[in-house]
Amino acid sequence: MTALVDFRTCPLCEATCGLEVTHQDESVIRIRGDQDDVFSRGFICPKGSTLGKLDQDPDRLRTPLVRRGGVHEPATWDEAFAVIESRLGPIIAEHGPDAAGVYLGNPNVHSMSGVLYPRVLLKMLRTKAIFSAATVDQMPKHVSSGLMFGHPDLIPVPDLDRTSYLMMLGANPHESNGSLATAPDWPGRLRAIRERGGKVVVVDPRRTRSAEAADEHVFITPGTDPAFLFALAHVLFDEGLVDLGDLQPHVSGIDQVAGAVEGFAPEVVAGTCGVDADRIRRLARELAAAPTAAVYGRIGTHTAEFGTMASWMVDVLNILTGNLDRAGGAMFSHAAHEQPRSRRGFQLGRWTSRVRGLPEVRGELPVSTMADEILEPGPGQVRALITIAGNPVLSTPNSDRLDEALAGLELMLSIDVYLNETTRHADVILPGVSPLRRAHYDFAFNQLSVRNVANYSPPLFPLPEGTPDEWQIMLRLGAVASGQGADVDLGALDDGVFAMMVGSAVSNPASSIGGRSPEEIFAETRGDRGPERMLDFLIRTGPYGDGYGADPAGLTLERLEAAPHGVDLGPLHPRLPQALCTPSGVVELAPEALLADVPRLRALLARERNGGFALIGRRHVRSNNSWMHNIDVLVRGKDRCTLQINAKDAERIGVGHGAQVKVTSPAGMLVVPVEITEDIMPGVVSLPHGWGHDLEGSALSVAADRPGVNSNRLSTGAMDPVSGNAVLNGIAVEVFPA
Ligand code: SF4
């Protein structure tokens, strides 16, 4: 057979690059960037070229595993589901639905089934014990967006391709490829800002690669970003630089914000932030004077004790400078699958967690309390856990405690591509699908994109005979949990799920098919069950869709399939006030829940620093959180799992480059080699996350050769009280020679 070339979208990170895949006989020969992709134009990072290696990885699970006598043994799908049926149902029947918890890992949002079907499974489970990676690193953005704009997914992104001034805090897109702002080739887009005469400023406790490439880098004490942002806002009010522009009639709460930032003059916050007051004033003036500007904060600002305050103030600054919702500022994407949203607004804390009384956010509980919910006896205790595409033992806080909790569960089920540090506790592991063997459309990241695009890729290779797709696995699991049994007719079940989706659209007068007959819509939609049918429906009823005949030139899945390099839907366009979902119909600049947290931020200014170190994380372009360290080409080379420390600090504690040090926190202790650098602030140390592949019982042969250490053994379970997000940045640690 001759080699074939196909195009697909990389599902590994948020950048959504187009790939050109040369393959033969279900084997990848080469992957490179798709030069004709409408968005990425040939850009690719080292991870994207390894999808073939991931597909061929001998450690990737291809058959279910059932643990018998402490050993994971291969089983058929029916055998695996028989075990699940015999054990999950009785736990739910005896202890109620909350006895079965669910953890959803980050890769779910990179898969069509992972976005569409967990919600069906959760409905069938009827549990409130829901946890996800969202409370590891991004919930503050959802919460501040929900409170300000009325919907947690209405998130402004920097209009990278048109802005003339970009201030980034806690973001390192040269390594991460961008997050909560989808753009292939961030380095090229940032370079272009400078080439067209603009300016890029990076605020970060580390001189990252992104900081190196910027016009200006501002060192800042970890965890103090909101105080710095408050001070910028203070200057804008103080110097009469506030100008909301066209947004003025659509914003409420300006006076309350002016009052909130009153005590945060640059001279007051300078010592706490480690940033000179004159410099803060100058940056505020630059921001106000730039023809267009965007402030963008990411993971370093969100994984901190004031994560939601920082996220809020980023958007407040964009509004105060008149840059929200205008070209070159911070804008809202308009994804091809987006459906009309209600103006119900956003609520926090509709229920609380059982053990610590923590408020629910977006229907889930903070993952930092998952171990509590498993370990603490009493009504509602989590006795069974389902993990889907996640490795919380490495990726969530206080991991030693979680590891202990998982070991004591009555039942654990996992859907995953690997027998990893988490799934080694599972009684049944159901293999997930290799990314090359499933279709892809980016539900999550098209709605965070700096340009409106749509791209659909069919599966490159077929699933092996008899292997179910992930949507079928989740539906079957849901059928077991809801008492319908493992032998349920999955096709009929999926038809029912789809009928509900259609029913809710036709009953919505704002939908392009509002008032039509559900049967008619059902009959006109493509017949294949699973996520493609839903995607076709969502595209056709979305903002560019054909509306089932209303606009014959509009998008359908068939049209996307005919465009392997994607469909360009144009630059972002102003969407306010129409897109707002607040009951008031305006931007709520000063939500009560955030104003109530200001005194806590004020108390930070009076806090004495102890003599130890503040631990921060770091990313690397060849890592993908915890789960791609089993790909040899991505882990080769010098050890990346090191503790970065400033040269002066290294001298003070008496360690040389490469020496082993002990790092301790109230949660745990690690021994790790040091890497001495001038690129980190004195008093700050940095460890990457996602490592620690040396736990007995996992089967990751490549990763085990270079295990590294798990930085989450040092994170304490502390969280941002507004969003429940984990505090992973700015953890107080001590460092000693080992
Ligand atoms: S940047 Fe992200 S989407 Fe692009 S090739 Fe790399 S992993 Fe894939």
CB 307 within 8 A of CB 725: yes
pLDDT at 17: 98
- Is residue 170 very low, low, confident or very high in pLDDT (cuts 50, 70, 90)? very high
φ, ψ for residue 732, nearest 5 deg: -75, 120
- Is residue 255 predicted with pLDDT exceeding 80? yes
Burial class of residue 552 in the structure, from the number of CB atoms within 10 Å of its CB (0-12 exposed, 13-18 middle, 19+ buried): exposed
Beta partners for residue 32, in sequence order: 20
The answer, yes or no, to whether any atom of ligand 1 lies below 6 A from the CB of 670, is no
The answer, yes or no, to whether any atom of ligand 1 lies below 6 A from the CB of 47, is yes
Mutate to test the pocket of ligand 1, among 17, 19, 442, 620 (most ligand atoms within 8 A of CB): 17
- Is residue 1 predicted with pLDDT exceeding 80? no
pLDDT at 544: 98
Mutate to test the pocket of ligand 1, among 177, 619, 634 (most ligand atoms within 8 A of CB): 177
| Residue showing tokens 């998982």 | 406
Q: Count other C-beta atoms under 10 Å from residue 79's C-beta.
A: 14
Q: In this predicted model, what pLDDT tens digit does every residue of 448-477 receive, in sequence order? A: 999 999 999 999 999 999 999 999 999 999
The answer, yes or no, to whether any atom of ligand 1 lies below 6 A from the CB of 16, is yes
Q: In this predicted model, what pLDDT tens digit does every residue of 657-680 receive, in sequence order? A: 999 999 999 999 999 999 999 999
Which atom of ligand 1 is nearest to 45's Cα? 6
Q: Whose CA is nearest to atom 8 of ligand 1?
A: 48
d(CA 59, CA 315): 44
The answer, yes or no, to whether any atom of ligand 1 lies below 6 A from the CB of 12, is yes
pLDDT at 626: 87
The answer, yes or no, to whether any atom of ligand 1 lies below 6 A from the CB of 21, is no
pLDDT at 63: 97
Q: In this predicted model, what pLDDT tens digit does every residue of 594-643 receive, in sequence order? A: 999 999 999 999 987 777 999 999 999 999 888 899 999 999 999 999 99
Q: What would the two tokens of residue 514 be?
A: 């509002």
Q: How far is the CA of 659 from the centre of ligand 1 (A)?
A: 34
Which atom of ligand 1 is nearest to 177's Cα? 1
CB 436 within 8 A of CB 55: yes
pLDDT at 642: 97
Q: Report long-range pairs for 171-174 (Cβ below 8 Å, ≥24 apart).
A: 171/202, 171/204, 171/210, 171/296, 171/297, 171/298, 171/299, 171/300, 172/204, 172/208, 172/209, 172/210, 172/211, 172/300, 172/618, 172/619, 173/210, 174/208, 174/209, 174/210, 174/213, 174/621
Q: What is the DSSP letter of 353?
A: -
Which atom of ligand 1 is nearest to 49's Cα? 5
pLDDT at 525: 87
The answer, yes or no, to whether any atom of ligand 1 lies below 6 A from the CB of 622, is no
pLDDT at 717: 87
* Contacting residues for 175 by C-beta, under 8 A, at least 6 apart: 208, 209, 210, 618, 619, 620, 621
* Contacting residues for 307 by C-beta, under 8 A, at least 6 apart: 139, 140, 301, 720, 722, 723, 725, 727
Which atom of ligand 1 is nearest to 48's Cα? 5
Q: How far is the CA of 683 from the centre of ligand 1 (A)?
A: 33
Q: Whose CA is nearest to atom 4 of ligand 1?
A: 17
Q: Whose CA is nearest to atom 6 of ligand 1?
A: 45
- Is residue 271 very low, low, confident or very high in pLDDT (cuts 50, 70, 90)? very high
Instruction: Report CA-CA distances (Å) from 423 to 85, 535, 696.
Output: 19, 30, 12
Q: In this predicted model, what pLDDT tens digit does every residue of 312-369 receive, in sequence order? A: 999 999 999 999 999 999 999 999 999 999 999 999 999 999 999 999 999 999 999 9
The answer, yes or no, to whether any atom of ligand 1 lies below 6 A from the CB of 435, is no
State mean pLDDT over 4-10.
97
Q: In this predicted model, what pLDDT tens digit does every residue of 404-430 receive, in sequence order? A: 999 999 999 999 999 999 999 999 999
Lowest-pLDDT choice from 236-240, 351-355, 516-520, 726-730: 516-520
pLDDT at 608: 79
Q: How far is the CA of 72 from the centre of ligand 1 (A)?
A: 33
- Is residue 223 predicted with pLDDT exceeding 80? yes
d(CA 314, CA 115): 27
The answer, yes or no, to whether any atom of ligand 1 lies below 6 A from the CB of 13, is yes
CB 607 within 8 A of CB 221: no
d(CA 273, CA 264): 11
- Which percentage of the chain shows pLDDT scores above 90? 96
State mean pLDDT over 422-448.
97
d(CA 44, CA 613): 36
pLDDT at 528: 86
- Is residue 444 predicted with pLDDT exceeding 80? yes
The answer, yes or no, to whether any atom of ligand 1 lies below 6 A from the CB of 45, is yes
Beta strands in 51-195 (DSSP E): 65-68, 71-74, 100-104, 130-132, 157-158, 165-169
Q: What is the mean pLDDT of the chain?
A: 96
Which atom of ligand 1 is nearest to 46's Cα? 6
Instruction: Report CA-CA distances (Å) from 63 to 131, 466, 529, 683.
Output: 26, 10, 23, 48
Q: Dump the DSSP string for 296-311.
A: EE-HHHHSSTTHHHHH
Q: Whose CA is nearest to atom 5 of ligand 1?
A: 48
Which atom of ligand 1 is nearest to 12's Cα? 7
pLDDT at 677: 97
d(CA 469, CA 734): 47
Q: What would the two tokens of residue 737 be?
A: 């020679």
d(CA 230, CA 169): 13
